[in-house]
Each structure stands twice: as structure tokens, then as C-alpha cells.
């Protein structure tokens, strides 16, 4: 597209002064050249209209910016047709208000100010041929003839896109800056708040919080420090922290300052500080370096806690511990003592046991001797008794005519006593035999055994009428011959002592009780006085006269001896003339030994 | 059935004269008079049975019964019994122990050694006479030995 230089518009003469003051009348610019330069500029859109706004000139810059060819717009469009209609309307309204005159929303709105001689540069959105839009800055100038009458307008526009972008970026930057400022402000507020809280903490802390510089000079002093040490902030700020340190601990401050200068913390050490009053205060101290923004150590903060109570508690604990240790020690000593006593007891027991063993052996030995003696004596005694009886009988048989009736009777008394002594010896032998015989334990059917004994004893004296009741009996374990002997002896006694009863009654019963089988033989016979009960089981002990009930007084002794050998026991209950009940108990057969 | 009493002999080994007399009384009372040889201890009994250097006659051949007390001086009744049973000649000879001992152990030992009977001498004299008399009659008259003809 070539610039249109032809036109029927009378071009105004351009009077300009030469740039840089070098222009002179002698060298006037050629108007045509200037016009060409302006109109051919690609960076400006130069649009000239007639007085009504119809485009007459549309330069290369306009063609490039707006996408139209000059031929398409010249004599057909006005600048309003290539402007944002909304903006045109808005501008019309705004100008109408500003200038207090109705301005039509069209080309008039674009040039009205210029038509009144007011310089007018404004921003406007141009619409390209393809419909796309770009921001433009437009300068409007009215073209006048020599008489000053308006013959047209020149609108020179520049593409404002780049500037708009810059403006947008600037706005963005401004926004960011503003955001930062706001954030910074908030951070400051937060910092102020925290600082306030910290200050409150420091002020209200129960711990003394202080700071000092690297020379040990106090720079801050909170109320707790005043309470703890007795010095006010006025007393201390600017003074050396070392006034708090007892003279014997003065080295501490040197060490502390050395550590702080090295940037190290001094954590939780317990020490003693001196109050203004001179009294000493146990404290726990933590010291941290204070650094400036560059990280240089410029001083130290110090937190001190009164540990008087803690120390007292510790002392109390120590006291308790000492007490406990004392207790433990004394308990240990007691244990040692009791161990000693135990050992002594064990020795005594061992001595006793060995003595018991010895005594048992001695007793067993003397028991055996006694039994051998009894055996021997009873045999040796029996022979003379036989002779006494035998020869008394011979005397009576051979010389009864010479002895007479009284002589024979008296010799009969000799014989009766000899025979009685023989019976005593037999029983004594039986009794001593129980102790020497081995026990052959076996399971015993007591019902059967008792029935057998009862039958046998009844047969010995068929004339007697005795009512026997035999309840079912528990079985037990023992030597059959020996326990049969027990039943024989008890039942023999029962039969004997019911001899005088018109209705003899003998009841046999049994039960299991307390791990024992207990058997009872109860009769309604002569009974006995319980005052003599302990004599019942002694050898040759009798509670009845011989002329009442015969006997040697060995039966119950034998029964007791048999039961003792079975780890059992026997006892009797009775009343004179109201019967007797003899009971014996045998331990129940033990179950299988527990693993 | 009564045999020639002159050939029938009983050896009574008894150290107690009273017991010996009563025993012989009992035997006599049962009609076995003049058949008893009484020796007073075990040594004497063995001499009588097997003979000695001075009196070599072994009298066991003439015996039908030995009544043997157990508790004897010198050689005990048990040793006499053992000797009798150890010798084939006297092994079948009936030996009845006649003693005061009713000890189970004595009874068992006597039978172990081959005693033919065991009688505890009763204290009561009637009982004594009866027991010993019956004993003598049984062994002397009713019992039959090897080689004897009816």
C-alpha cells in the first residue's frame, strides 16, 4: 500500500520552526516533505477527515495498525467507525457533562474539544478490521482554512499496547509492593504483639530474667529478679552482674562470660547467689548468648530460678533415703541376726535329731532286749508253773485220802493261781509279740471280717442270747490277723460285760470321718467310770473285780498296740451300768501320692 | 494192733526233770509205759542216737518217736533236729517238738527243719496229760513208718 498523496482537500500550510534553534527563514522546510514524512511514518496512524469526519487520508501507519487499506476507508468511514462504540458513547456523555452541552455519541465526541480549540489528547480503543482491539493514544487537531473555519480534523494515534503492558506491570509491581508493605506491617504488628507478650512474660515470670553485655554489665532486670535478689532494676542496670556472686564463687562469672563469648549456652546449672540482704539463695541458672542481626554475640540473657523449695525437698528426700537406708541396713542386720539364729536353730535341731536318732536306736535296742527278756522269762516261768500245777495235781490224785477235803481244796487254790499265772504269761507274750511282728497290710473287707468274728464268738458260748446289729462298715487297710485280733478283743469284752444283762445288745457301726475309718463297738453292759478311762488300755489294768468279770487286763492293751502300729487310735466311752462304746480309727488308705 | 512194746521206743530230750516226769506220767497214763528213753540235753541225745566211741551202738534203729525240747543245754533242740534230718538213717524218724515256746519263729523253724509236729506244753496239768498222752498214742500206735508191715 502506498501513501495516498492525492486528495481534494486543500492541505494547510504547516508553519513550523526548525528543530534545535537552527532553523532560519532562509532555509524553510519544504511543506510537502514534512507532510510526507508525517504521513509515511509507520509508527503513527495519521488519519485526516473532512469537517464532517469522513476519512480523507489514511496513512501507512494507520493501515498497519488497523488492518484496513486506505482505499477501504477513505470517503466511507469516520474515525468513530474504527473506535470502540462503548467508549465513544461514554466519551460523549462525559464531555456533555464537562462542557455542559449535548454532544452526540459519534465522531463529534472524538473531535468536539479540538473543534473548540482545546488541545485534546485522549486514550481510545481502536477496533481493527479483523475485530481485534488495541489501546491507542490519540491527538486530535482541527484543520482550518485561512479564515479560521474548520475544514477537517487530523487524528494522530499511537499504539498504546506496550505502554499499557508497562502500566499493567507497574500496577502489578505496585500491587506487590503494596502487598509486601501490608505483610510487613502485619509482621511488625505480630512482632509487636509477640514482643508485648514476651515483655509480659518477662515481667510476670516467676523466674528472674536478666541480660548483660559481654563485660558482665546488667542491661535488663525483670520484676522477679527484683523479688529474688532484692535489687531493683534501677539498682542493677549498668552494674556488674558479679555483685550477685558470692566471693568464693567469683570464678563462675569468668567461666560463664567465656562460654557466652564463644556463643555457647550455659544450661541448668545449680549454684548459689547472694541477695542484696547478703543472704544466700540457691538457684538454677540458664544463660544464653544474645546476638545482633549480624550474628555477633553482644551479651547474654540469664534465667535464674529459686530452688530453695526444691533443695529443701531434696534434702528431705535425702533424709528419707538415709532413713530408708538405715531401715534397710537394720533390716539386713536383723536378717543377718535371724539367719544366725536360724543357723543356730538348725544346729540345735540337727543335734536334737541326732539325739532323737540315738535315743530311738537306744530305745529300739532296749525294746528288743526287753522283748527278748519277756520272751525268755515267760518261757522260763511257764515251766515251774507247769510243775506246780502238775505236781499239785499228782499230790491230790495220789494222796487225797491223807490230805482230806480241805487239803485238796487248798492245793486246788495253788493250781488255780498257777494256771492264772500261765494265762497272764500267755497274754504278756501275745502283747509283746504284737510289737515284734511285721505288719502285712492289705485291703480289708471289714463287713466280712466282723461277721466272721461275731459268728466265731457266738459259737463259743451258744447259750448266750445277744442281739447283734452290724451296720455296713467302711473298708480299710491293715494287717488282717492283727485287726481281726482287735475285733476279737473288743467283741469279747462286749460279750463278757453284757453277761448280766437280761437283754444283751451289741451294736457295731462304722463311718468315714476326717480322713479316717472309724469303727464302734457299743454295748449295754456293765460300762465303766470315765474317771478311770485312761487305765483302760494299760497292760494288766482292770476296772472290774475278778469275781465280777474274769480277765487279765491285756485285751485292750493289745488292741491299742495294734492300732498304734497302724497309725490308728482307740478310745472308750462309758458309764457304770449304762454300757460302753469302744471306738477305733484307722487312717484311710492314702490315694496315689501327688507328683 | 498193739505192737510188741519192748521194741517200741520213745526218746525224750528234756532238761527239766519236772517236765520230763510229767511227760512220762502222761505217756504212762496212756498205756505207753516202759518205752521212754530220757536224755537231758542235745549232746546226750545225739550220742544216744548215733553212738560214741565208747558206746558205738546207734540206738536210732529202736526208735519210733523223738519228743524234743528246743531250749536245751549244750546242743539245742534245733541242732538235734538238723542232725537227725541231715542223716539219711534218721531222716524218716518222727520228731515232735515239745516245748514251752509258742513263738511263731520257733514253730516255722522247726517245720522248716523237718519236724513232724509241734506241741506247746500246757500249763494246766489235765490239759498236759491229755495232749501228751494222745500225742504218744498217735505216733506210737497209729502212725506207720517205712518198712513196717501191718
Q: Which of A375, A383, A418 sits opposite B19 (nearest CB)?
A: A383
Contacts of B58 (CB under 8 A, 6+ apart): B49, B50, B51, B89
Q: Which residues in chain A have Cβ-Cβ distances shorter than 8 Å to B71?
A: 379
Q: Which of B102, B103, B128 sits opposite A386 (nearest CB)?
A: B128
Interface of A with B in 396-415 (CB under 8 A): 415
For residue A474, the model assigns a pLDDT of: 92
Q: Are B75 and B45 in contact (CB under 8 A)?
A: yes
For residue A16, the model assigns a pLDDT of: 44
CA distance A426 to chain B (A): 9
- CB pairs A-B closer than 8 Å: 56
Tens of pLDDT, residue by residue over A11-62, are: 444 444 444 444 444 455 566 776 777 777 777 888 999 988 999 988 888 8
Q: Is B103 on the interface with A (CB under 8 A)?
A: yes
Q: Is B126 on the interface with A (CB under 8 A)?
A: yes
Q: Locate A419 and state its grid cell.
A: 494256771
Is B103's CB within 8 Å of A394's CB? no
Q: Which residues in chain B have Cβ-Cβ distances shorter than 8 Å to A418?
A: 123
Q: Is A419 on the interface with B (CB under 8 A)?
A: yes
User: How far is residue A570 from each of residues A509, A519, A564, A574, measured CA to CA in Å?
Assistant: 15, 9, 9, 14
ipTM of the complex: 0.76
Q: Is A587 on the interface with B (CB under 8 A)?
A: no
Cell 494507520 found at: A62
Q: Which residues in chain B have Cβ-Cβ distances shorter than 8 Å to A392?
A: 125
Is A379's CB within 8 Å of B18's CB? no
Q: Is A298 on the interface with B (CB under 8 A)?
A: no
Q: Which residues in chain B have Cβ-Cβ distances shorter than 8 Å to A389?
A: 123-125
Residue of A nearest to B23 (CA): A390
CA distance B58 to chain A (A): 31
For chain B, residues with pLDDT lower than 70 are 1-8, 33-34, 55-58, 149-150
Q: Which of B22, B101, B102 sits opposite A390 (nearest CB)?
A: B22
CA distance B124 to chain A (A): 6
For residue B1, the model assigns a pLDDT of: 37
Q: What are the beta bridge partners of residue A104? A: none
Q: Which residues in chain A have Cβ-Cβ distances shorter than 8 Å to B103?
A: 375, 433
Give the span between the Cα atoms of A214 and A260, in whole angstroms.
8
| Burial grade of A521 (CB within 10 A; 0-12, 13-18, 19 or more) | buried
For chain A, residues with pLDDT lower than 50 are 1-26, 592-595
Q: Locate A353 and state its grid cell.
A: 535329731
Q: Which residues in chain A have Cβ-Cβ distances shorter than 8 Å to B123?
A: 382, 385-386, 389, 418-419, 421-422, 425
Q: Which of B19, B71, B102 sits opposite A386 (nearest CB)?
A: B19
Torsion of CA A300, A306, A312, A317, to 10 degrees: -50
- What does DSSP say about strands A466-470 and A208-213: parallel, antiparallel, or unpaired? unpaired
Q: Is B100 on the interface with A (CB under 8 A)?
A: yes
Interface of A with B in 266-285 (CB under 8 A): none
Is A387's CB within 8 Å of B18's CB? yes
Is B100's CB within 8 Å of A392's CB? no
Is B125's CB within 8 Å of A375's CB? no
User: How far is residue A162 from each of residues A51, A65, A158, A329, measured CA to CA in Å?
Assistant: 32, 13, 10, 97
- Residue of B71, B119, B123 for testing the chain A interface, max A β-carbons within 10 Å: B123
Q: Which residues in chain A have Cβ-Cβ distances shorter than 8 Å to B124?
A: 389, 419, 422
Is A426's CB within 8 Å of B16's CB? no
Interface of B with A in 71-90 (CB under 8 A): 71
Structure letter (DSSP) for residue A46 = E
Give the span between the Cα atoms of A372 and A203, in whole angstroms.
110
For residue A22, the model assigns a pLDDT of: 44
Give the span between the Cα atoms of A117 and A575, in whole angstroms.
165
Q: Which residues in chain A have Cβ-Cβ distances shorter than 8 Å to B25?
A: 390, 394
Q: Which residues in chain A have Cβ-Cβ distances shorter than 8 Å to B128?
A: 386, 390
Q: What are the beta bridge partners of residue A304? A: A208, A285
Q: Is A387 on the interface with B (CB under 8 A)?
A: yes
Give the span between the Cα atoms of A3 and A57, in whole angstroms.
9
Helices of type H across A53-160: 60-66, 70-73, 85-99, 107-115
Helices of type H across A67-137: 70-73, 85-99, 107-115
Q: What are the beta bridge partners of residue A45? A: A157
Q: Is A432 on the interface with B (CB under 8 A)?
A: no
b/e per residue B49-83 (b: at least 16 CB within 10 A): bbeeeeeeebebeebbbbbbbbbbeebbbbbbbbb
Is B124's CB within 8 Å of A392's CB? no
For residue A31, the model assigns a pLDDT of: 64
Cell 485561512 found at: A146
Residue of A nearest to B124 (CA): A419
Is A390's CB within 8 Å of B71's CB? no
- Residue of B14, B22, B70, B125 for testing the chain A interface, max A β-carbons within 10 Å: B125
Own/partner pairs, A292-299, CB within 8 angstroms, 24+ separation: A297/A214, A297/A260, A297/A261, A297/A263, A298/A213, A298/A214, A299/A211, A299/A212, A299/A213, A299/A214, A299/A219, A299/A260
Q: Which of A375, A391, A393 sits opposite B18 (nearest CB)?
A: A391
Amino acid at each position: 500500500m502506498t501513501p495516498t498523496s492525492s486528495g481534494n482537500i486543500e492541505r494547510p500550510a504547516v508553519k513550523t520552526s526548525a528543530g534545535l534553534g537552527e532553523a532560519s527563514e532562509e532555509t524553510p522546510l519544504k511543506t510537502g516533505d514534512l507532510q510526507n514524512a508525517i504521513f509515511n511514518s509507520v509508527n503513527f496512524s495519521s488519519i485526516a477527515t473532512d469537517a464532517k469526519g469522513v476519512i480523507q487520508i489514511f496513512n501507512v501507519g494507520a493501515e498497519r495498525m488497523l488492518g484496513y487499506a486506505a482505499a477501504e476507508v477513505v470517503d466511507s468511514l469516520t474515525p468513530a467507525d474504527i473506535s470502540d462504540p462503548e467508549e465513544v458513547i461514554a466519551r460523549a456523555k462525559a464531555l456533555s457533562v464537562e462542557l455542559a452541552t449535548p454532544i452526540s455519541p459519534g465522531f463529534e465526541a472524538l473531535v468536539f474539544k479540538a473543534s473548540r480549540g482545546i488541545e485534546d489528547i485522549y486514550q481510545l480503543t481502536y477496533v481493527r478490521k479483523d475485530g481485534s482491539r488495541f489501546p491507542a493514544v490519540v491527538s486530535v487537531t482541527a484543520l482550518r482554512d485561512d479564515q479560521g473555519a474548520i475544514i477537517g480534523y487530523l487524528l494522530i494515534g499511537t499504539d498504546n499496547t506496550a505502554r499499557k503492558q508497562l502500566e499493567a506491570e507497574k500496577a502489578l509491581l505496585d500491587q506487590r509492593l503494596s502487598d509486601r508493605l501490608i505483610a510487613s506491617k502485619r509482621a511488625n504488628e505480630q512482632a509487636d504483639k509477640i514482643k508485648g507478650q514476651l515483655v509480659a512474660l518477662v515481667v510476670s515470670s516467676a523466674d528472674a530474667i536478666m541480660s548483660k553485655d559481654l563485660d558482665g554489665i546488667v542491661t535488663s532486670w525483670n520484676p522477679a529478679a527484683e523479688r529474688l535478689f532484692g535489687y531493683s532494676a534501677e539498682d542493677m542496670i549498668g552494674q556488674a552482674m558479679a555483685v550477685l556472686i558470692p566471693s568464693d564463687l567469683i570464678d563462675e562469672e569468668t567461666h560463664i562470660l567465656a562460654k557466652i563469648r564463644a556463643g555457647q549456652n550455659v544450661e541448668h546449672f545449680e549454684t548459689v547467689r547472694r541477695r542484696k540482704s547478703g543472704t544466700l539463695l540457691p538457684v538454677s541458672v540458664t544463660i544464653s548468648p544474645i546476638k545482633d542481626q549480624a550474628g555477633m554475640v553482644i551479651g547474654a540473657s540469664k534465667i535464674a530460678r529459686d530452688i530453695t523449695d526444691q533443695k529443701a525437698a531434696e534434702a528431705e528426700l535425702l533424709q528419707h533415703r538415709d532413713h530408708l537406708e538405715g531401715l534397710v541396713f537394720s533390716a539386713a542386720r536383723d536378717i543377718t541376726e535371724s539367719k544366725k539364729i536360724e543357723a543356730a536353730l538348725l544346729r540345735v535341731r540337727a543335734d536334737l535329731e541326732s539325739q532323737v536318732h540315738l535315743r530311738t536306736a537306744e530305745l529300739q535296742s532296749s525294746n528288743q532286749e526287753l522283748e527278748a527278756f519277756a520272751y525268755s522269762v515267760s518261757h522260763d516261768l511257764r515251766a515251774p508253773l507247769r510243775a506246780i500245777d502238775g505236781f499239785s495235781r499228782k499230790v491230790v490224785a495220789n494222796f487225797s485220802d491223807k490230805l482230806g477235803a480241805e487239803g485238796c481244796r487248798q492245793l486246788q487254790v495253788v493250781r488255780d493261781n498257777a494256771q492264772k499265772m500261765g494265762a497272764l504269761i500267755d497274754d504278756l507274750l501275745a502283747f509283746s509279740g504284737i510289737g515284734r511282728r511285721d505288719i502285712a497290710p492289705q485291703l480289708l473287707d471289714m463287713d466280712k471280717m466282723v461277721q466272721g468274728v461275731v459268728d466265731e464268738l457266738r459259737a463259743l458260748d451258744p447259750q448266750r442270747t445277744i442281739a447283734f446289729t452290724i451296720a455296713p462298715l467302711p473298708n480299710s487297710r491293715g494287717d488282717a490277723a492283727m485287726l481281726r485280733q482287735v475285733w476279737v478283743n473288743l467283741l469279747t469284752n462286749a460279750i463278757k460285760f453284757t453277761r448280766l444283762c437280761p437283754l444283751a445288745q451289741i451294736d457295731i457301726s462304722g463311718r468315714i470321718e476326717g480322713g479316717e475309718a472309724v469303727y464302734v463297738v457299743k454295748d449295754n453292759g456293765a460300762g465303766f467310770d470315765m474317771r478311770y478311762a485312761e487305765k483302760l488300755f494299760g497292760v494288766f489294768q482292770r476296772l472290774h473285780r475278778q469275781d465280777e468279770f474274769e480277765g487279765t487286763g491285756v485285751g485292750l492293751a493289745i488292741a491299742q498296740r495294734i492300732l498304734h502300729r497302724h497309725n490308728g487310735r482307740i478310745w472308750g466311752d462309758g458309764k457304770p451300768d449304762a454300757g460302753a462304746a469302744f471306738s477305733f480309727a484307722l487312717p484311710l488308705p492314702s490315694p496315689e501320692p501327688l507328683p | 494192733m498193739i505192737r510188741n512194746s519192748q521194741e517200741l521206743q520213745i526218746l525224750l530230750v528234756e532238761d527239766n526233770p519236772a517236765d520230763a516226769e510229767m511227760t512220762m506220767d502222761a505217756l504212762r497214763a496212756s498205756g505207753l509205759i516202759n518205752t521212754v528213753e530220757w536224755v537231758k540235753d542235745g549232746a546226750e541225745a545225739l550220742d544216744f542216737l548215733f553212738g560214741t566211741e565208747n558206746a558205738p551202738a546207734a540206738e536210732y534203729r529202736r526208735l519210733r518217736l523223738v519228743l524234743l525240747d528246743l531250749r536245751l543245754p549244750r546242743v539245742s533242740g534245733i541242732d538235734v533236729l538238723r542232725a537227725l534230718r541231715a542223716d539219711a538213717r534218721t531222716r524218716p524218724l518222727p520228731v515232735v517238738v515239745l516245748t514251752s515256746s509258742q513263738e511263731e519263729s520257733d514253730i516255722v523253724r522247726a517245720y522248716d527243719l523237718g519236724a513232724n509236729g509241734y506241741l506247746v506244753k500246757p500249763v494246766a496239768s489235765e490239759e498236759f496229760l491229755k495232749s501228751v498222752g494222745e500225742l504218744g498214742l498217735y505216733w506210737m500206735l497209729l502212725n506207720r513208718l517205712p518198712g513196717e508191715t501191718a
